[in-house]
Structure 1
Amino acid sequence: MVFDRVSVPVAVCDVYGAVQVANPAMAAECGTTPGRLQGRDVLELFRPQEATQVERIAEALRLRHRSRYQVSVRWQAPDGAQRYGELTADPVSDTVEDTPALLVMLRVLAEREAHEQRPPQVAPIEARILALLASGTTTAQAARDTDLTVDGVNYHLRRLSSRWNAANRTELVARAYALGVLAPGVWPPTPASWEGPE
């Protein structure tokens, strides 16, 4: 009962991503009812922006890692708008030995119209720092690669975190992909080809 009253779109999936149960908010994002989502693949409903994110999660689950995983996704809303957001998956089970289920939550970040008309306010140096972070670069290495000090890199990251209300660097990178700041499906990560403010 409590599950159905949660306003955040939530589903419980098996380890392969098949929906076992979904709340009405999750079903509403797909334009259907909770019962009709049962058995559907969550990554077909909400398409990943970057395939490598899913591959890393699958490998971590195979190794029985119990971390929280985030995937930048896009999907078509019932009204036809293209939406962007993040799926967060938390492995849950009664014991460590049990094969975990995945508690999946969806956060809607933007719709295509707003996404295209008002690009995120990210300076080229901020986009470069985000690309370096996405590739696993340390703050010290990012400082060397951008000719900034470590404090300078941290300053830009704090500004972005504040602007996007991001809790950590992982969320910053996920949002950068979801908002189109970083080009999807490209390695090493690179800023997308749009003009931001100087």
Structure 2
Amino acid sequence: MLFDRVSVPVAVCDVYGAVQVANPAMAAECGTTPGRLRGRDVLELFRPQEATQVERIAEALRLRHRSRYQVSVRWQAPGGAQRYGELTADPVSDTVEDTPALLVMLRVLAEREAHGQRPLRVAPIEARILALLASGTTTAQAARETDLTVDGVNYHLRRLSSRWNAANRTELVARAYALGVLAPGVWPPTPTSWDGPE
């Protein structure tokens, strides 16, 4: 009963990712009821942003590691919008010898418009700062590269962190990739090739 009252989307999956039980909040993210999620593959419902994340987790589970695992995912909300978030999987079992089940929690980070599926809009200077941050530059270096002051760079980073509810710069960069602001698979990091107002 308590499981059903939790407002966070939660499911229990077997070690292969098949949903055994899900709460109403998780089912609502998929536009269905908890019973209809039973047996569905959680990674088909919530598609991973990077396949390598899933491969590392699968290997760790085969080796019976009991760490918390996070996967950046995307899925289509019932209204048609593309949503982005993180799945956190915790292996749980009664004893160390038992094959663990996975307690999976979903954290919704953002969504794109259903029509057009364009990346989240940020100012060009913010996209440039995020790209510099992703490449490992310091705040002072980013300020020099963008002709801003250090305070100016920090202003944009605070603004983005507040808008995206990012706890730190690492999370800010991860969300920039997950939201399509930075182009995946490109080095040095580059903003996606769209432009528009904030």
Task: With the length of structure 2 as denominator, give the TM-score of the two structures.
Answer: 0.71
Structure 1 residues 92, 185: closer, same or farther in 2, change over 3 A?
farther
| Local SS of the residue matching 2:11 | strand
C-alpha separation in 2, matches of 1:136 and 1:100: 37
Structure having the higher Rg: 2
Partners in 2 of 1:101 and 1:110 — Cα distance? 28
Quick check: 3-12 or 172-181, which moved more?
A: 172-181
Instruction: Report the alpha carbon displacement of residue 149 of structure 1 after superposing the two structures with TM.
Output: 13
Instruction: Give 3-state SS (helix, strand or coil) of 2:29's partner.
Output: helix
Q: Distance in 1 between matches of 2:97 and 2:47?
A: 30
Contact 2:112-2:120 within 8 A present in 1 as well = no
Aligned-pair distance for 1:189?
A: 6.0
How many angstroms does 1:192 deviate by?
Answer: 3.0
CA distance in 2, matches of 1:53, 1:141: 30
The Cα RMSD (Å) is 3.9
Residues 12-39 of structure 1, C-alpha deviations (whole Å, 9 max, x = no match) = 1112111011001111111211111111
Q: Sequence identity of aligned pairs in percent?
A: 95
Between 1 and 2, higher relative CO (CA 8 Å, sep ≥ 6) is seen in: 1
Instruction: Name the stretch that deviates more: 180-189 or 12-21.
Output: 180-189
- Per-residue deviation, 1:138: 11
Q: Deviations over 1:76-131 (max 9, x none)?
A: 22222222222222222233333222111112222321897985566778757766
**Could you say what secondary structure the match of 1:117 adopts?**
coil
Q: Matched residue of 2:114: which SS?
A: helix
Once the two structures are superposed, residues 131-150 of structure 1 have per-residue CA deviations (whole angstroms, 9 ceiling, x without a partner) of 68778999999999999999
Asked whether the 8 Å contact 1:15–1:101 carries over to 2, the reply is yes
Q: How many residues align?
A: 198
**Alignment partners' CA distance in 1, 2:90 and 2:151:** 33
Structure 1: gaps (5+ residues): none
